[in-house]
């Protein structure tokens, strides 16, 4: 069962619900974007918001990554019809990633659809407002009202004080901490298990299990060359250079730089500086890196 982030979400969700529930089929809908850094809980906030809308007996469609972006958007336009009798709510996680994969004319097509009378009200999440919303000549300029989620609170906020004291004294904590720190969802699931008396490893296993389907879908949505590049970064367990990635991912050829660019654009990896005149890379989500090491590439040696 998904944790309820009521202390973090109640105020902002109330504001958003008050706005979108005022939308009706006789007006152009007010669309919204919820912005925040990786791990602050955007995806789970969107699920929480969907629950609240369903309690209001409102028709709600939720789309979550990974997408086949153009196909998903075309499906979005054709399968969520304009309805002049009742308001439909369209919740799209990682809306910025979806926009980035659309050509300009496709973005204008999407905007035209969303601003018809009776169109669904779109509530999307993104790390920061997309480029297509900033330039006054861009397709989605001034199209959304923006909300921002705060970063994840400190780790100790998820534990009773005595339990947290026991945790930081545990010899396995320093290795496990980077896997969950900064991600509200991971921290809450981990804290639930550890507070019940589970070990650090058992608690991490539980969080991995809860995310297994999402990680599998995300990984399978990538091309083979991008999968191998990602595997090389995960296997390195430190800042990975291109030579590290080629060695550990068992990659031949020159397509690693283009794969790195694509993974960086999707915020799956991030650049962490230069070493020997080349950038180094790490996984943005260290739990996803651990999942890759455990489940997909056990034959790749880690360094």
pLDDT tens digits, one per residue of 217-274: 788 878 888 999 999 999 988 888 888 888 888 887 777 888 998 888 777 888 887 6
Asked if residue 152 lies in contact with residue 44, where contact means CB atoms within 8 angstroms, the answer is no
Locate 226 and state its tokens. Answer: 């991008």
Query: Which pLDDT does position 298 carry in this prediction?
Result: 56
Q: 40: exposed, middle or buried (C-beta count within 10 Å: 0-12, 13-18, 19+)? A: buried
What does the alpha-carbon distance between residue 227 and residue 256 come to, in Å, rounded to a whole number?
A: 11
Q: Is the pLDDT of residue 203 over 90?
A: yes
| Cross-sheet strand order for the sheet of 144-148 | 59-63, 88-92, 121-126, 31-35, 144-148
Count of CB atoms situated within 10 Å of the CB of 37: 15
Q: Prior bond to 66 cis, omega within 30?
A: yes
What does the alpha-carbon distance between residue 180 and residue 188 come to, in Å, rounded to a whole number?
A: 9
Query: Which pLDDT does position 174 carry in this prediction?
Result: 92
Query: Which pLDDT does position 74 carry in this prediction?
Result: 56
pLDDT digits (tens, 9 = 90+) for 150-201: 777 778 888 888 999 999 999 899 999 999 988 888 888 899 999 999 999 9
Query: Which pLDDT does position 25 carry in this prediction?
Result: 57
Which residue pairs, CB below 8 angstroms and at least 24 apart, start in 13-22?
Answer: 13/45, 13/48, 13/49, 13/52, 15/147, 16/49, 16/123, 16/147, 17/49, 17/52, 17/53, 17/56, 19/145, 20/53, 20/89, 20/121, 20/123, 21/56, 21/58
pLDDT digits (tens, 9 = 90+) for 51-102: 888 887 877 777 766 555 555 555 655 566 555 566 788 888 888 877 877 8
How far is residue 300 from each of residues 178, 225, 230, 297, 303, measured CA to CA in Å? 21, 16, 12, 5, 10
Query: Which pLDDT does position 99 carry in this prediction?
Result: 80
Question: 121 pairs with which residues across the strands?
Answer: 89
Q: If pLDDT is split at 50, 70 and 90, which confidence band does 7 have? A: very low
Please compute the mean of the pLDDT values over residues 103-132 and round it to a whole number.
85
What does the alpha-carbon distance between residue 77 and residue 110 come to, in Å, rounded to a whole number?
A: 7
Asked which of 78-82, 120-124, 126-130 is least confident by mean pLDDT, the reply is: 78-82
Q: Which residue has the higher pLDDT, 242 or 9?
A: 242
Q: Please, what's the largest Cα pairwise distance for the chain?
A: 62
Query: Which pLDDT does position 3 carry in this prediction?
Result: 34
What does the alpha-carbon distance between residue 97 and residue 61 come to, in Å, rounded to a whole number?
A: 18
What does the alpha-carbon distance between residue 248 and residue 266 come to, in Å, rounded to a whole number?
A: 22
Query: Which pLDDT does position 207 carry in this prediction?
Result: 92
| H or E element, residue 81 | none
Query: Which pLDDT does position 229 carry in this prediction?
Result: 92
Averaging pLDDT over each range in 32-41, 47-56, 199-208, which range is the top one?
A: 199-208
Percent of the chain scoring above 70 in pLDDT: 82
Contacts of 110 (CB under 8 A, 6+ apart): 73, 76, 77, 102, 139
């Amino acid at each position: 069962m998904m944790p309820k982030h009521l202390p973090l979400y109640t105020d902002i969700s109330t504001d958003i619900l008050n706005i979108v529930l005022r939308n009706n089929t006789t007006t152009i809908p007010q669309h919204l974007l919820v912005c925040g850094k990786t791990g602050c809980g955007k995806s789970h906030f969107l699920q929480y918001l969907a629950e609240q809308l369903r309690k209001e007996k409102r028709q709600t469609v939720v789309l979550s990554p990974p997408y086949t972006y153009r196909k998903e958007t075309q499906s979005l336009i054709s399968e969520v019809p304009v309805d002049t009798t009742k308001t439909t709510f369209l919740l799209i996680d990682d809306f910025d990633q979806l926009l980035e994969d659309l050509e300009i004319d496709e973005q204008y097509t999407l905007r035209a659809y969303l601003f018809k009378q009776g169109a669904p009200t779109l509530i999307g999440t993104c790390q920061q407002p997309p480029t297509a919303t900033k330039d006054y000549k861009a397709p989605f300029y001034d199209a959304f009202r923006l909300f921002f989620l705060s970063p994840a609170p400190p780790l100790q906020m998820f534990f009773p004080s005595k339990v947290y004291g026991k945790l930081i004294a545990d010899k396995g904590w320093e290795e496990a901490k980077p896997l969950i720190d900064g991600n509200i969802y991971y921290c809450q699931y981990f804290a639930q298990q550890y507070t019940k008396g589970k070990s650090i490893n058992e608690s991490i296993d539980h969080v991995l299990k809860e995310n297994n389907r999402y990680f599998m879908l995300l990984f399978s949505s990538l091309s083979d060359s991008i999968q191998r590049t990602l595997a090389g970064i995960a296997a390195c367990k430190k800042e990975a250079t291109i030579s590290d990635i080629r060695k550990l991912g068992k990659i031949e050829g020159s397509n690693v730089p283009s794969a790195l660019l694509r993974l960086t654009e999707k915020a799956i990896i991030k650049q962490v500086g230069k070493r020997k005149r080349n950038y180094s890379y790490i996984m943005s989500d260290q739990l996803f890196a651990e999942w890759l090491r455990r489940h997909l590439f056990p034959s790749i040696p880690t360094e």
